[in-house]
Structure 1
Amino acid sequence: MDWQTLKAKYPRPNGLPERAIRIEALLRVLDGAQYDILPHDFMTERSGAGEYIPLSQRRPSVRTNLCRTVVDDSVSLLFGDTHWPTLCAEKEQTSDAMEAFSRSIGLPAVMSLAATRGSVGSVAVLVEIHERRPVLTVLDTAYLTPTWDDAGVLVSVRERYQTKGRDLAARGYMIPDDQMTLSFWWEREYTRTDAVYMTPVPVSATIAPTKDEARSVQHGLDFVPIVWMRNSEVTGDTPDGQCTFEMAIDTVIEADYLMSQGCRALRYASDPTLVLTSGNDPLGSGPAHEGGSASALQLPPGGDAKLLEINGHASGAVLSQYQELRALVLEQLHGNRAHSDKIAAGTSGRAMEMMCLPLVWLASRLRQAYGDSGLVPLYRMICDFSRVIDGGLEIDGVTFKELDPAGMRLHWPSWFEPSETELLALAQALVTAVDGGLIANETACVIYAGRLGIPDANSEWERVKAEISSGAKVAKSPKETRTDANGGKTLSHQETA
């Protein structure tokens, strides 16, 4: 069974676009629920009527979830504990406000969730203000329809999906008792000026929904309070980017069923079937064996007993085939193919980066999708809110007004932290390059500061110059401190020149 066959088994509600059905199917794979639609477990070979159940109707007993593994690894490398980017802006107040905003609402966790859910193609982050405090909500985009203007600015986002009457009643809608089990259309739309809610109507009804005046709000922001993020950079007004894992789903399905069959074979080998040949039994006295395979047997003349066993090499062949399928999936998805049990202790950051190079390439593309096209627009939107909300925004107990988003950019840390040996070797190489007149001191400072993860290398150089000009003690190179045999100072080649 391939992905097309499995996807065709999913329900297809009427009235939904093909895009919504596709994203809903990909979300099943991301959540590890792609096989839940199949009616039988893997160990059930025959139905109650004795009919054989094909594998395409059985849920595999082993689910490798390699698609989710690659997504989690790439998101960890994107927004993990030591990989969160630092915001740089022209105004120091803006940088301080965004740092407080990120800390107060747990923005790394929100963006990690957004990047995970967006791996199917796209994700949206809704920004709302509650008592002058920003609140973020991550939205799956299966039931969202965005619209952009000619300049690429988001002008509206419409949300429309089906839900049961009892669920609407739990949210405060007045639903008659006889309609609790019916399916309703629920719809709302965000524009630059309004948040319009529609009255729910039954799916089977022919009447058009009307505006729900009690729930609709005129916000007057002059922008849509939603940041739309596409999983990869695309041109035009296409709402979705490329799915991270869709191309490997067929191979993952093959690996799941292969491992399920292998585990079933190992269970069978541990308790093989006993086959008895009764021989000439004129009395026809029923079965000649009762109990387990270790029980003693007494057979009539001409009888025989055998165990149906499989060759032990078969399990090795299954594991070998699975390793090939796993490597193929990770190669298709640019996942991490390095084995942790083969990594030596004390591996340098550069060596780790080379071992995880395909995953680094994947995460570098995600930096553009969720950093420059996701996190930065989100910061800009918070600045916009600070200008339109009366009294400004309250972030981490501090009020911020009229925040200026000019010059916003992200400084990303190194993929893997350098070891002390690497930093020492880099420092020695830079000193040698400066002494040899190959690079300037400022260039060396910028290179070393970047390797240390300092966001603003130019400011670091200004501080170094200030310390030098103030007479602070500066470490000298070996050429500047060596002496001759008579105790006199030997000048470096710069001084002799």
Structure 2
Amino acid sequence: MDWLALQARMPCDASMPRRSARLAALEAVLEGRQYDVLSYPFSKERSDAGEYVPLDERRPSVRTGLCRVVVEDSVSLLFSEGHWPSIKATDSRTVALLSQVVRETRLNETMLEAATRGSVGSVAIQMRIVEGRPFFEVLSTKYLTPVWRQDNPRALSSVTERYKVDDRDLRAQGYDVEPGSGPYWFKRVWNDTAEQWFAPLSVASDPGRMELDRDRTVVHELGFVPIVWIRNISGSGGHDPDGPDGTCTFAASIDTVIEADYLLSQAGRGLKYGSDPTLVLKDPSAGQHGGGAVRSGGAATALTLPPEGDAKLLEINGNAAAAVLAHVQELRAIALEAMHGNRAHGDRLGTAQSGRAIELMCQGLIWLADRLRISYGDGGLLSLMEMLCKASDRLGEGLLIGGNLEKTIMASGLGLIWPSWFPASPADRQAQAGGIVTLLEAGVIDRQAALAVVAPLYGLAEPVQPPDAA
């Protein structure tokens, strides 16, 4: 069974956009739920009616989870503790305030979640201002529809969220709906002035008739949509360049991963049969009753047979298991190569390696993370920083940062300084220090440029201003 056949078994609502079903299916793969639509466990060979259950109708008993592994590895190279970028700006006050916002809002956790969930194609991050304090929330885009401004295609004009919800969930949220009245349409719209909520409407009605819920609507008057829309790996093939979604990180390997899951499950099934083979008794008297006897039991089972009787064990050759495992290793390499995952084996390293050697060993994964830096760094984190700067001007009292109300945070020169992919070894640092000293003595760079190079190497938050020359 391939990905198209498995995806066709997943539920699809014809009243929702096609991209909603596609993103929901990819989210199921990311979370390891793609086989939940299959009714039978892998160990069940016969249905309750006694019919044989084909393999493609059973849930694999072994799941490699390679798609999730590659996503988590690449995201760790983006926003983990040792890879979080530092902020740079023309105004040092801007750097200090935005760095404080990152710590107070735990923005690194938000970006880790956004990059993980956005690996299916896209993700959205909403900014909310509550009593002057900024908060960030990751939104799945399978139910979101963005509209871009005509004068600026990179800026959002509005974002509409619409999906179906059960009446029990609505009652839990405080809505006055009849119990057992069935599903309802839920709708919410963000624009440059407000977050508009709409009163739920039965799915039997036209969703275009939904009325504004003024009690739940929040007016922010920011002058921009407080949502950052991030396309995953923009500029790649396999998606509409003008559409709301980028390329899925792991889509090219789903078929191969499914094949590996079923092969490993079948190999485990064969090993279980080899450990407890089926016992077949050949009894001459069985013909009088319509057939022979088949019993389950191991080779140690004691049997008493008549002289003309016979017994055999249905066994499986153990060489098949080794062949399956070798084939699965090739499938794993193909899947990781298609996703640009890490195919190197760290247990084969005999001695400690330099940071540069580890980069070469993980080159494919670094290339993937380098492309993700564009989407989630410049297109995500940096856009959030710019949004905070705009909000500090639009809010009357400013933003509450570090216990103080701050207004007019300057966004000029705003950018990100990314650290090295892997920690440098002492030999790497010594070689780089020698090169910096040579360039400094030759007058190629000044002390400020040298400090800018050294700062991320030694974990400094930002380059230190050099003292004035005497």
TM range (shorter): over 0.9
Q: Deviations over 1:7-53 (max 9, x none)?
A: 11111113101111111111101111000011110010111111111
Give me the whole-angstrom Cα distance separating, in 2, the residues matched to 1:111 and 1:288: 59
Structure 1 residue matching 2:9: 3-state secondary structure: coil
Residue by residue over 1:260-319, the C-alpha shift from the partner in whole angstroms, topping out at 9 and shown as x without a partner, is: 001111111110011122236798698597965412222223322111111111111111
Distance 2:172 2:294 in 1: 63
Q: What pairs up with 1:344-383 in 2 under 5 angstroms?
A: 344-383=350-389
Change (3 A) 1:407 1:447: closer
Which deviates further from its counterpart, 193-202 or 297-306? 297-306
Residue 298 of structure 1 is matched in structure 2 by: 304
1:155 is matched with 157
Q: Which residue of 2 aligns with 1:48?
A: 48
CA distance in 2, matches of 1:377, 1:221: 15
Of the structure 1 ranges 93-102 and 227-236, higher mean CA displacement relative to structure 2 is found in 227-236
Q: Which residue of 2 aligns with 1:216?
A: 217
Q: Secondary structure at the match of 1:162?
A: strand
In the TM superposition, what are the counterparts of 1:249-268 in structure 2 within 5 Å? 249-268=254-273
Partner of 2:190, secondary structure, is: strand
Within 2, Cα distance between the matches of 1:89 and 1:124?
A: 25
In structure 1, what is the equivalent of residue 138 of structure 2?
A: 138
Specify whether residues 298 and 126 from structure 1 end up closer, same or farther in structure 2 by C-alpha distance, changes over 3 A only: same
Distance in 1 (alpha carbons) for counterparts of 2:232 and 2:175: 35
Corresponding letter in the other structure for 1:101: V
Check 1:312–1:421 CA distance in 2 against 1; reply closer, same or farther (3 A cut).
same
8 Å CA contact retained: 2:277, 2:298 = no
Match in the other structure for 2:57: 57
* Residue 177 of structure 1 pairs with residue 179 of structure 2: yes
Q: Is the 8 A contact 2:165 2:184 kept in 1?
A: yes
Question: TM-score under structure 2 normalisation?
Answer: 0.92
The aligned residue for residue 89 of structure 1 is 89
Matched, 1:388 2:394: yes
Equivalent residue in structure 2 for 1:402, among 401, 408, 411: 408
The answer (yes or no) to whether the contact 1:266–1:315 under 8 Å persists in 2 is: yes
Question: Cα deviations across residues 96-137 of structure 1 (Å, max 9, x unaligned)?
Answer: 111000001111010000000000111001111111111111
Tell me how far apart the structure 2 counterparts of residues 446 and 95 of structure 1 sit (CA, whole Å). 15
Confirm or deny: 8 A CA contact 2:279 2:294 kept in the other structure: no
Alignment of 1:329-340 (within 5 A): 329-340=335-346
Distance in structure 1 (CA, Å) of the matches to 2:54 and 2:322: 25
What is the alpha-carbon distance in structure 1 between the residues aligned to residue 294 and residue 270 of structure 2? 26
Letter in 2 for 1:380: E
Aligned equivalents of 1:54, 1:291: Cα separation in 2: 25
Scaled by the length of structure 1, what TM-score is found? 0.87
The within-5 A match list for 1:269-288 is: 269-279=274-284
1:301-338, Cα deviation, whole Å (9 max, x unpaired): 33221111111111111110110000001000000111
Q: Aligned with 1:214: secondary structure?
A: strand
| Residues in 1 aligned to 2:377 and 2:354: alpha-carbon distance in whole angstroms | 27
Contact 1:280 / 1:300 at 8 angstroms: preserved in 2? Answer: no
Q: Tell me the secondary structure at the aligned position of residue 388 of structure 2.
A: helix
Contact 2:78 2:373 in 1 (8 A): yes
Match of 1:317 in 2: 323
Q: Letter of the aligned partner of 1:317 in structure 2?
A: A
Report deviation, 1:417: 0.9
**Is 2:277–2:296's contact at 8 Å kept on the other side of the alignment?**
no
Q: Given the superposition, is the C-alpha separation of residues 300 and 411 from structure 1 closer, same or farther in structure 2, using an over 3 Å criterion? A: same
Partners of 1:32 and 1:101 lie apart in 2 by 34
8 Å contact from structure 1 (residues 280, 302) kept in 2: no
Query: Unpaired segments of 5 or more residues in structure 2?
Result: none
What secondary structure is seen at the aligned counterpart in 1 of 2:64?
A: coil
Residues 157 and 225, structure 2, Cα contact 8 Å, conserved in 1: yes
Deviation at 1:426, TM superposition (A): 2.7
1:326 aligns with 2:327: no
Q: Is the 8 A contact 2:280 2:295 kept in 1?
A: no
Which amino acid letter does the alignment assign opposite residue 5 of structure 1? A
State the Cα distance separating 1:233 from its structure 2 match.
Answer: 2.4
How far apart are 1:346 and its partner, in Å? 2.3
Q: How does 1:19-34 map to 2 (within 5 A)?
A: 19-34=19-34
Root mean square deviation of aligned Cα: 2.3
Are 1:279 and 1:301, in contact at CA under 8 Å, matched by a contact in 2? Answer: no
Report the Cα distance in structure 1 between the residues aligned to 2:340 and 2:3, rounded to whole angstroms: 20
Alpha carbons of structure 1 residues 290 and 257: separation in structure 2 relative to 1, 3 Å: closer
Give 1:399 shift.
Answer: 2.0
How many residue pairs get matched?
461
User: 1:488: which partner in 2?
Assistant: none
- 1:227 corresponds in structure 2 to 228
Q: Distance in 2 between matches of 1:387 and 1:289?
A: 80
Conserved 8 A contact 2:336-2:343: yes
Give the Cα separation in 1 of the matches to 2:368 and 2:77.
Answer: 10
Whole-Å separation in 2 of the counterparts to 1:289 and 1:403: 79
Q: Percent identity?
A: 47
What is the distance in 1 between the residues matched to 2:402 and 2:446? 40
Decide whether aligned partners of structure 1 residues 288 and 382 sit closer, same or farther in structure 2, where only a CA change above 3 A counts.
closer
How big is the shift at 1:432? 5.6
Per the alignment, residue 253 of structure 2 pairs with 248
Higher mean alpha-carbon deviation, 367-376 vs 226-235, is at 226-235
